[in-house]
Amino acid sequence: MSTALWCLLIAGLMPIICAGISKWGASDFDNASPREWLARQEGHRKRANAAQANSWEAFALFSTAVLVALHNNVDAQKLDNLAVFFIVSRVLFIAFYLMNRSTLRSLAWLAGLFTTLTIFASGA
């Protein structure tokens, strides 16, 4: 399996990891009403939940771009490199979100978006 496909799997797991971070170690977590509980959170839990939502949003476009590139036989090495760069930018995005570093978070987000658009354009 290509590196780009492994990156699809990793990107698909990122929102789930963010959800876990938002809930990890909380003694008052309410599994009966997790969304309501998360809506009341502050600090890193609130930011992890926001990173989860953004990760789902980024995954939709990234996965589409990778599939378009694969369907159109984009150079495998180029696609793999771009997919890895996307994953790195998203890991940084999540880390910066958790650390409450908004400018760096925005730059990492832009890097991921630009990479996704580049993948899509290379397959168009």
Q: How far apart are CA 12 and CA 4, in angstroms?
A: 12
Q: How far apart are CA 83 and CA 81, in angstroms?
A: 5
Interval 51-75: pLDDT, tens: 999 999 999 999 999 999 999 999 9
Q: Which residue has the tokens 């925005």?
A: 106
Q: What is the mean pLDDT of residues 83-89?
A: 98
pTM summary value = 0.92
**Is 38's pLDDT higher than 90?**
no
The pLDDT value recorded for residue 118 is: 98
